[in-house]
Amino acid sequence: MSDELAHADQRSGPAPGSEASELTQRTGYVLAALDTTAAARPVLETALRVGEMTKAEVKAVHVVDGATEHLETLVERAGVPLRLLTGPVEGTLLEAMEAPEVLATVVGARATPGGKRPVGRIARHLLERTSKPVVVVPPEALAPGTFLRLLVPLEGTESSSRPVLQALYPLLAVDVEIIVLHVFTDKTLPRMLDRPQRDLELLGREFLATHCPLATGIELRSGPVGARVSEVSRQHRADLVVLSWSQDSSAGRANVVREVLGTSVLPVLLLPVASASAASDVPRGLAAGEHPATPEPRKASAP
C-alpha cells in the first residue's frame, strides 16, 4: 500500500476568527528567549507571529554573556522590549519562562544549521523542565508569515488527545486551519479494503468525527512519522507543527519529537503533557467533545 493513503477536506461554517477579532489584547505575553547568534532573528520573527496568533504582547529576554549592541538594535527595530538578565543561563531563562504571565516561550533549536543534535543542550534542558508551551525555531527557518495553518499529528486515542486540546486551545485567538495527520503503524494499517479510495475517505471522516471534529482536513499516511510530517507540511504549506511530549528525552524515548525537530524547517510548538497518557512520546492531536470558551478552529462538516 502506498505511503500516501488518503486525503479528506472538511469545509467550515462560521470562521472562528470572527469572535477572536473582537478580543482585547491579553494580559499575558509571549516570551522570546534570544541569544547573540544569527538564530536570534528567526526566533524574534517567530515570536511576533506567535504574538499575533495569541493576541498577546511579545517581550524578549537575554542572559548577558558578552556584547549586546547588535541584539538591542534588532529588538528595537521590531518594537519589542528587551530585558537583560544575569546569572546561569539555564536557570535564569527557566525562571523567566515560568513567570505566571508567560503564555508561551519561543527559543532557537540550535545556533547553526546542520548541527549534530536536533536541539542544543540548553534548549533541550529548558524543554525538559518548563511547564509552558515552547515554540522551537530551527536556525534555517524562513521568515514566517502569519500562522494560518497548523499541522497536528494525531495518534488517535482520546486519552492521548484530550490533554493537548486543553493546552492548545487557550493559545488560539485568531482564525486558523487545523490539518490533522494520522500515520498508520504496521499494527494499525488497514489490510483489506473493498474499495480503497472510498473506504479510506470514509475512514478519514470517521477519524475526524471521533478525534477532531473541528479540523479542516485530515491526511492518512503510513511510514516514518517524522518524514510524513515534513512531507505533509510542505504539501499543505503549513506554518506551524504542533506536537506534544512527556518531556523525557532519555534513550529510546521521544523519537518522533527528536526526528521532527531534526528535520523540520518550520517552527514546532511543543506542548508538555504531564500525564500518563503522554508517556508513549508520540505526536498527539485534538480530541472530540471539548468546547472551550476560546475561539475554535474551523468546524468540520461533510463536503
pTM for the complete prediction? 0.80
Residue 111 · residue 37 · CB < 8 Å: yes
272: left (phi over 0), alpha (psi -120 to 50) or beta: beta
Please tell me the predicted confidence (pLDDT) of residue 7.
61
What integer is the mean pLDDT of 239-259? 80
| pLDDT of 275 strictly over 70 | no
| pLDDT of 168 strictly over 70 | yes
What integer is the mean pLDDT of 274-291? 36
d(CA 112, CA 268): 17
What integer is the mean pLDDT of 16-39? 72
Task: Report pLDDT digits (tens) over 92-121.
Answer: 999 999 999 999 999 998 756 655 667 889
Residue 31 · residue 125 · CB < 8 Å: no
From-to residues of CATH 3.40.50.620 in the chain: 4-20+145-278, 29-137
Given this structure, which CATH class describes domain 29-137?
alpha beta
4-20+145-278 in CATH: which number?
A: 3.40.50.620
Residue 106 · residue 134 · CB < 8 Å: yes
